[in-house]
Amino acid sequence: MNIQLNIDDLIDELNLPTNTADTIVEQCVNEVTQSIYESWKKEASDKLKSTRTDYIEGLDIVTTSRFARQIVLKGALNQMIEKGAAPYDMKEHFKKSSKVKYAPVYNSETGETDFRWYLTIPFRIGTPGIVGENSAFSNIMPKSIHKIMKSKPANEGLKSAETPSPYDIPQSRAAIQIPSKNIDIPEYKHKSGMFEGMVKKVGAYGKTTQNTYMTFRRVGEASDPNSWIHSGIKAYNLLGGAMGRTDVNTIVENKVDEVLENLGY
């Protein structure tokens, strides 16, 4: 989105020297850019949850010339959040991770050993009633499971038989159908309950200890083709919201008055 600041008439009316006019333009550009940038961050802070921090960190102001600035949004996921994305196979992204490992698999057809990629993905689980920033957690465990986990030794996984109903039942991802985009993905039922295998990690902080809870899921070349399918992301259009918050004309008028006053006009 390009914004043109039209202050030529004012400059001509006051018959300002070139260096004064340039100072006004530069400071107006800076002020408008900073205001949109702060409004954009506020939109993200108000409307995003788990992706909030990464999205805001992806925003940056770039100076392209003395009188031009750009606000760029970096990161593929951030772009998908802003503009929206159709359903996609997350495995295609996972296999590009720097943490991917390879397992040897004997190929009976060729008599050779193939290597298949796999990745272990950690999910941090919050405790019931946690206060404050929840964006760091993939899920919040119910009280009945928290009671069990508190008494379990560190690093001992929660077994399916230990998991109270209904949390022991694997959930399903509904079928995804978008006729206009020729997308038809069948329903997929997960292989285990979302809390199965969860472990307690105990960390020492000075004279105290703190428990954190994690689950781990394996994804790889041998995964079911219908697993790890993201249902898509709606377009948040946070820039549009930021522009709605920003009164460019008033910002320019106030900045011009401020600069002229400081220069003694």
Is residue 24 within 8 A of residue 41, CB to CB? The reply is: no
What is the distance between the alpha carbons of residues 184 and 178, in angstroms, rounded to a whole number?
7
pLDDT band at 10 (very low <50, low <70, confident <90, very high): low
Do 189 and 131 fall within a single domain? yes
pLDDT band at 7 (very low <50, low <70, confident <90, very high): low
For the chain, the average pLDDT equals 90
User: Which own/partner contact pairs does 124-131 have at CB distance under 8 Å and 24+ positions apart?
Assistant: 124/212, 124/213, 124/214, 125/195, 125/198, 125/213, 125/214, 125/215, 126/213, 127/213
Do 75 and 41 fall within a single domain? yes
Nearest partner of 86 among 232, 258, 226, judged by Cα: 232
Do 179 and 131 fall within a single domain? yes
Read off the tokens for 116: 């298949």
pLDDT digits (tens, 9 = 90+) for 17-61: 778 888 888 999 999 999 999 999 999 999 998 889 999 999 999
Mean pLDDT of 140-160: 95
pLDDT band at 107 (very low <50, low <70, confident <90, very high): confident
196 within some domain: yes
Nearest partner of 192 among 164, 165, 168, 226, judged by Cα: 168
- pLDDT recorded at residue 261: 84
User: Is residue 87 classed exposed, middle or buried when 0-12, 13-18 and 19+ CB atoms within 10 A define those classes?
Assistant: middle
DSSP-derived secondary structure letter, 233: B
Do 124 and 201 fall within a single domain? yes
Do 134 and 192 fall within a single domain? yes
pTM over 0.75: no
210 within some domain: yes
pLDDT band at 5 (very low <50, low <70, confident <90, very high): low
Q: How many domains are contained in the chain?
A: 2
Do 127 and 182 fall within a single domain? yes
106 within some domain: no
Mean pLDDT of 70-97: 94
Do 165 and 242 fall within a single domain? no
69 within some domain: yes
103 within some domain: no
Do 72 and 15 fall within a single domain? yes
The DSSP bridge partners found for residue 70 are: 62
228 within some domain: no
- pLDDT recorded at residue 23: 87
Strands 112-126 and 139-140: parallel
pLDDT band at 136 (very low <50, low <70, confident <90, very high): low
What is the distance between the alpha carbons of residues 195 and 215, in angstroms, rounded to a whole number?
7
76 φ, ψ to 5°?
-60, -45
Do 204 and 252 fall within a single domain? no
Do 207 and 257 fall within a single domain? no
What is the distance between the alpha carbons of residues 15 and 10, in angstroms, rounded to a whole number?
8
pLDDT digits (tens, 9 = 90+) for 204-242: 777 788 899 999 999 999 999 999 999 999 999 999 999
Alpha helices for the chain (secondary structure H) = 8-14, 18-47, 52-57, 76-83, 91-94, 143-151, 238-245, 248-262
46 within some domain: yes
Do 251 and 176 fall within a single domain? no
Domain of 250 in residue numbering reads as 8-84+235-262
2 within some domain: no
N residues, the chain: 265
pLDDT band at 138 (very low <50, low <70, confident <90, very high): confident
Do 80 and 161 fall within a single domain? no
